[in-house]
């Protein structure tokens, strides 16, 4: 895939042209896109948090308001997993070791294939799992969360479209489950 600077796009792409310094959005600002998965993950995570707080602050809400919120959380989780793999791989390479994984996972949206790699990376690098968030305190709880998402949203379609590629309809979920986890998460961050 050939990269093209937004500054070099024809005038017909005026939506994506930079202008004055205030208001510009700069993508890949570090000129090292593969190192920015964590930065992108945090941006999607914060956006999901903001929308979630806004939704629950109202006396009532439309069920569809939950779809972009859960999508943002799921996408952040996917990007965090990919960031951990890439950073772990870099650390291992510096120590003369190799992380055995298929980099084509970076182009896919499934979450569960990252779980064994997550454990392998933490073990190989010598990291310990120390999250104090209900439901994410242990590797087993992380695996359960990934399985929950995979059951409902295997390829990241459920919260983006009304159907998946096989006309499967979205499922119902309880926003309060996310609210409870959000309270624990807020204490951490």
pLDDT tens for each residue of 103-139: 899 999 999 999 999 998 898 888 888 888 888 899 9
Q: Say which residue, 171 or 189, is predicted with more confidence.
A: 171
Confidence check: pLDDT of 78 > 70? yes
In a domain, 20, yes or no: no
- Residue 7 belongs to a domain: no
**173 within a domain of the structure (yes/no):** yes
Residue 153 lies in a domain: yes
User: Given this model, what pLDDT does residue 1 score?
Assistant: 41
Q: Is the pLDDT of residue 85 over 50?
A: yes
Predicted pLDDT of residue 172: 63
In the predicted structure, residue 2 carries a pLDDT above the cut 50: no
Question: Is 24 inside a domain boundary?
Answer: no
The pLDDT assigned to 189 comes to 43
State what percent of residues in the chain have pLDDT above 90. Answer: 33
89 domain-assigned:
yes
Number of domains observed in the structure of the chain: 1
User: What average pLDDT does range 68-81 have in this prediction?
Assistant: 94
| pLDDT at residue 185 is higher than 70 | no
Confidence (pLDDT) at 126 = 85
**Domain with 127 in it:** 32-188
Confidence of residue 74 (pLDDT cuts 50, 70, 90): very high
pLDDT score of 27: 76
pLDDT tens digits, one per residue of 7-62: 555 556 666 677 667 777 777 777 777 889 999 999 999 999 999 999 989 999 88
What is the band of 169 on the pLDDT scale with cuts at 50, 70, 90?
Answer: low
Tell me the pLDDT of the chain averaged across its residues: 81
Q: Classify 186 as helix, strand or coil.
A: helix
What's this model's pTM, rounded to 2 decimal places?
0.80
Q: For the chain, how big is the Rg over CA atoms in Å?
A: 19
Burial 121-160 (b: 16+ CB within 10 A, else e): beebbeeeeeeebebbeeeeebbebbeebeeebeebbbbb
Q: Which residue, 88, 69, 178, 95, is CA-closest to 134?
A: 178
Q: Which residue has the higher pLDDT, 31 or 183?
A: 31
CA 189 – CA 187 distance, rounded (Å): 6
């Amino acid at each position: 895939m050939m990269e093209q600077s937004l500054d070099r796009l024809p005038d017909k792409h005026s939506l994506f042209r930079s202008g004055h310094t205030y208001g510009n959005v700069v993508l890949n600002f570090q000129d090292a896109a593969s190192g920015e998965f964590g930065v992108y993950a945090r941006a999607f995570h914060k956006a999901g948090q903001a929308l979630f707080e806004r939704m629950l602050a109202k006396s009532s809400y439309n069920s569809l308001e939950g779809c972009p919120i859960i999508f943002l959380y799921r996408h952040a989780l996917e990007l965090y997993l990919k960031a951990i793999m890439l950073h772990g791989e870099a650390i291992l390479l510096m120590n003369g070791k190799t992380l055995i994984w298929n980099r084509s996972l970076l182009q896919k949206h499934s979450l569960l294939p990252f779980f064994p790699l997550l454990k392998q990376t933490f073990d190989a690098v010598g990291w310990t799992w120390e999250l104090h968030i209900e439901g994410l305190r242990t590797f087993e709880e992380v695996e359960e969360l990934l399985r929950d998402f995979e059951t409902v949203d295997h390829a990241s379609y459920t919260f983006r479209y009304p159907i998946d590629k096989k006309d499967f309809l979205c499922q119902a979920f309880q926003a309060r489950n996310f609210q409870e986890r959000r309270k624990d998460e807020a204490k951490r961050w």
